[in-house]
Amino acid sequence: DVKVTQSSRYLVKRTGEKVFLECVQDMDHENMFWYRQDPGLGLRLIYFSYDVKMKEKGDIPEGYSVSREKKERFSLILESASTNQTSMYLCASSLSGQGRKNIQYFGAGTRLSVL
Amino acid sequence: AQSVTQLDSHVSVSEGTPVLLRCNYSSSYSPSLFWYVQHPNKGLQLLLKYTSAATLVKGINGFEAEFKKSETSFHLTKPSAHMSDAAEYFCVVSENAGGTSYGKLTFGQGTILTVHP
């Protein structure tokens, strides 16, 4: 089974703090993704990476950055956390090569509260 | 551009009765379509997928969905609901992102399914 592990289930941070969310996958997937999930809005893509050190902006990248130094690990960084970044964050991974047919596998999520 | 509309934000059924969760999509190209389920405080789990083979797709836990191109629909059904089906369900469309091998997903807003005893 594919396993996507997010390091924290719950995080509470203060406004202005730098926040790191970590994600690790164990299936040698080329693609990794970060989404945020808000009630009534579904999931929205923040950033994705298709290879080590490569990244692309998603639909809502403002206020976020990412890092992918190793194939299995993809980090989401909130440079200066704000209250409007309180949300559920989901990491996913997928194989490359079949484009739209690829299944994305999701982690359990990190619920971040910024106070 | 692609989009997904889930026509009901909440659906409530009694245990043992049929389930219908409705989804319409818009896509410029031949899309792939997925249904994911999310149980409380859990990540998303794939229920089923359509990728241009058979239009009637069977998934896990007795769910199935039918791709109807003429109606741009991909409704999710189950003949008999079980208490464990209570969760949030997401309809998802995927298209290739430009000339890449990456499939960009667009999620619907989600439908919360409640199952009464």
A48: chain B residues, CB-CB within 8 Å: 102
In this structure, the number of other CB atoms found within 10 A of the CB of residue B36 comes to 25
Nearest to A103 among B46, B90, B108 (CB): B46
pLDDT per position as a tens digit, A21-58: 999 999 899 999 999 999 888 899 999 998 899 999 99
The answer, for A107 touching chain B at a CB cutoff of 8 Å, is: yes
Contact state of B101 with A97 under an 8 Å Cβ cutoff: yes
pLDDT per position as a tens digit, B21-35: 999 999 877 788 999
Alpha carbon distance, N-terminus to C-terminus of chain B:
41
Contact state of A102 with B108 under an 8 Å Cβ cutoff: no
Q: What DSSP designation does A42 have?
A: E
Q: Which residues contact B61 (CB under 8 A, 6 or more apart)?
A: B47, B78, B82, B84, B85
pLDDT per position as a tens digit, A87-103: 999 999 988 876 666 78
B41: chain A residues, CB-CB within 8 Å: 9, 108-109
